[in-house]
Structure 1
Amino acid sequence: MAGSPTPRSPDGFDRAILRIIQQDNKTPQRSIAEAVNLSTAAVQRRIAAMERAGIIQHNVAIIDPAALALTITAIVEVFMADERAATIDHAKAVFRAAPEVQQCYYVTGGTSFVVVIVASDMPAYQALARRLFEQNEAVSHYRTMVALDRVKMGAELTID
């Protein structure tokens, strides 16, 4: 998206459209139009406006890691050596650049980051942890929790 988002507050029609496309963003616009009682052209304009405004940030596919033999999901608490802006900005850049990092949150409460990582197996996770955390002088320490089961996955937000 080029330029800065245009300020926009979603109305009832926008919220109804968002509920539908969060379930399946490939829903045909004519089906959305029928469901929300608008014309197809109006739905198209509203979706485009929400994209320009930054309400809709990305259209993505959620992939099952197991289908790609990514059998390890690790949730990692990362504790930085300090919280200086340069340290945090560098860590953000490193985590963004690692394709194995599926989600990354800069958080409060003693932990600096919570990072969700997928890997094919434990040796692959160990090599990644060594590169991202152990060999990173800005990381004080980290704690890994390995997921036993993926109970819920997705990006759906409650829209009232």
Structure 2
Amino acid sequence: MARSPSVKRSLDRFDRAILRIVQRDNKTPQRRIAEAVNLSAAAVQRRIAAMEAAGVIDRNIAIVDTRAVAMTITAIVEVRMINEHRETADAARALFTATPEVQQCYYVTGGISFVLVIVAPDMPSYEALTRRLFNENEAVASFRSLLALDRVKTGCEIVIP
């Protein structure tokens, strides 16, 4: 789950240029980043460390191709809870956060409570997961699964002006 930056940090043009690069590949050598943004490698290292400390850079992760690890089902699931009370939403957040198959979870408005992105190795596994998360969960009023036919674009790069 993403966290809010812990310290207010104003990003200058160098920070933004560095972020554009590390979002595409966070293993880019700092000397290459330094050349691209016209700073020293030491300055890039300090700026990256400062952005990590401030929570601007939340995590460094690997995005795994689901086909390579035999997770062939990707579902986008709309979940409507029985109510929007804090306790209900917090319990759902905790459950979804603790479930490894739930790759992304959004608490949303518009008549739906949560939108999830779920991966599973096959349809029987997905069905068992939906029973556990939704059918047997008294706090869930309803859910709707949209099964992905193709993963056209994945990742987490955001546009940084």
TM-score band, normalised by shorter chain: over 0.9
Q: Does 1:17 align with 2:49?
A: no
- Counterpart CA distance in 2 for 1:23 and 1:30 is 16
Residue of structure 1 in register with 2:140 after alignment: 139
**Offset, 1:7:** 1.2
The residue number in structure 1 matching 2:50 is 49
Matched AA of 2:139:
A
User: How many pairs align?
Assistant: 157
Amino acid at match of 1:82: N
CA distance in 2, matches of 1:15, 1:73: 32
Any stretches of 5+ residues in structure 2 without a counterpart? none
Matches of 1:144 and 1:80, distance apart in 2: 15
Shift of 1:5: 1.9
Using the TM superposition, give the Cα deviation of residue 91 of structure 1 relative to its aligned residue in structure 2, in angstroms.
Answer: 0.1
**2:143 maps to 1:118:** no
3-state SS, counterpart of residue 38 of structure 1: coil
The runs of 4+ residues in structure 1 deviating greater than 4 Å are: none
For normalisation by structure 2, the TM-score amounts to: 0.96
**How far off is 1:107 after superposition?**
0.2
2:147 is matched by which residue type in structure 1? Answer: V
What is the SS of the residue equivalent to 2:110? Answer: coil
- Code of the residue aligned with 2:144 in structure 1: it is R
Cα distance in 2, alignment partners of residues 6 and 159 from structure 1? 19
Residue type of the alignment partner of 1:101: V
Q: TM-score, normalised by structure 1?
A: 0.97
In 1, Cα distance between equivalents of 2:7 and 2:82: 38
The C-alpha deviation readout for 1:91-119, integer Å capped at 9, x for no partner, is 00000000000000000000000000000
Give the Å deviation of 1:155: 0.6
Aligned counterpart, 1:150: 151
CA distance in 2, matches of 1:136, 1:35: 51
What value does the CA root-mean-square deviation take over the aligned residues? Answer: 0.8
Which residue of the partner structure matches residue 87 of structure 1? 88
Which residue pairs with 1:27 in the alignment? 28
Instruction: Give the distance between the partners of 2:155 and 2:143, measured in 1 at CA.
Output: 26
Deviation at 1:6, TM superposition (A): 2.0
Amino acid at match of 1:61: A
* Aligned-residue identity in percent: 68
Shift of 1:126: 0.1
